[in-house]
Structure 1
């Protein structure tokens, strides 16, 4: 029985949970009928006074003769700490708690023999057994576990390491002088493994230490790593955050070269960027030949080229040093020929083309204006695009106010008729001869042939034409009153198709080379049309 209880106690202290303690008690009480009622677990801090309760629940038909409290440490032998027999006085045998243990009642109640222990110590932790001697069923007992608590001191630290390929300890976490032992875990994004060890501390406490191991790299420097400590004295686990400290030699990169260094270019620059832990102690610029060109200036980690020439057509080297080591980077500058000056040919060609286009535009505008002006000057002479063409026939002599000419008989057309009628030829309508401007004429018969005599149109009618200029309008305004006829009698009308361009060659009202004598003694025009 003692070995089995010790084994159960060892398992429970590892689990540190009430379920295990209750299960152990039920297992023990199951063999004894569970008639002895006790508290399965009592928690206490050092220096406190604890009560260990015990009661025999049903004594019907059973005679209780004696009760004994037994202390069984985690490691060691069982010892009686308090005994009561109704026929004898109470007894407190020699034990680790002697002088601090006593029954809660005096005299004790045999059916309820609870005890108390004052000024408990960490070494008082263990099993406390309340055992009854009965008749006729024999001994009955119940077990209470006293768990001493001590709040640990938790801490975490970072171990500074140098980047490498072998796993090393990069962080430590410790939970010192706690009771029971704390549980430690790690939370981090880096790959590694943890090892945890426990060792006894002062006054029956336990110190737990955990180490995190990994193969550190430069990229791991500064990453988070947390140690999480869980303990029964804490409401929630405590998280201790740290950052990894990994030292590594400088990592160097030269930036700023754009592959467009040409002769004559000014103010170009190279920058030596370095990442290192610890920080770099020096930055040195040099060339592969060892000599920097005269046009180069060094300002910290910057190499400035004031003016590009053939001397900077070389390989530049930047060396960065820290306590761990020295690292370098290099870049080769390729000096190009200066870019060609932009030619003015394009500008000149553009200007020439623009000028030509402008001249063409001006010429086209002038031609259009000239064409419009010519059409206006020609007026009614049939050189325009108008659908309405006006012809005016007759000489320069004025007719008599009675509208009759002189010199010719009534049967012929005489030269005395100086006022020829004005006819309008409407080209837009179907041809039915020459139309009249007005309807005030009467058909005449001259020489046995019917003739159409048209009245002279008014100046207002002439002004309606879009092809007459201002001079022609003024001329017809002057002739409006003198040359308006409603009817014409006498000679047959003559249609002059060709306008008289040269007035010096005129004979009367017709050109000298245009007249032709007739059998009846009259003279008519060759180009005139008789209707």
Structure 2
């Protein structure tokens, strides 16, 4: 190495060529210390400092190699290695990035983000991002925590170990996005006799969530579609089925499952809204009324939308002056014989109309009591008639059984007499008659 050789220049570190072999250790230490100070105090110029740092490392490694060769160092160099682990984190959670060191001898360890910005240099922060925290730096492992993880943080994180040969491993960070409670949309208003179409939506997940429909604990088959929005996915599941008025207010459930939920489910329930024509039914507060009693006639209404107006009328006459209308109730504070008649309530909505009638008969007190006392006698009379009928049936069965047994006995007796008579006839008339008898039987 001649004196005319150009001297390397690195900031304040100027070394003549002929001093390199003598002051190599001090040179490397000063240069690396300078790079550390530059990295700490120049956060806004991270890329420039990073370039300078790598360049200095390259020079220092070269000089160390030359120095070792110059001294004919024959000692075996212990192999150092670094290993990294892949990490999966839920968006908004905290990720732990680990670099495992093997046979570590104190060499420089650098951790870089996916865009190759240095996060930590030998345990010293090099990038202004407080979400990254160094939590452990030992002879075996270097660990950093990334809080409030975002999709933008996803990628490969470099664990680099600078020795004579640079070693590095990449820890891949994967950020997953769990679904929120799914949204349910209805295409159009459902009407009795028609169909309803429901769509379940999970607008932002990664990886794509799985959506299912359930009704009465039974899965409903639907049509699923997936749309990619950058790094996330939008998932929809649509179902369509016929509806009737009995389906109104039934519950269907959309359920979302996702690896980030760890077996749990996100679900949204939807109450079916089926519109149908109204019905009307008049219910009296009591069935038998007498003069002076109070009576309320209630018009029970169904329908969707529910009818808001109920019209009370009396057939072929106007309502009594004493009658009072309170919503769906027609009240008679004190009945009189003039209140007799046929009353009607009418309801309607945009899908149709309906009505019901009630015949009001007002009795005087005596008639009411007589009518009320006749009811128990009628019941008792019916019970007695039933008992008489049962007794008659039993007697008929007994007589029939007795006659059947008696007829069987007479038939048997007649058969026995016939056999004895034939025997006596054969004995008296001789063999000829007996032969005729046999021929007759044949």
Q: TM-score, normalised by structure 1?
A: 0.36
TM-score (norm 2): 0.42
Q: Name whichever structure is richer in helix by fraction.
A: 2
> Which of the two has higher C-alpha Rg?
1
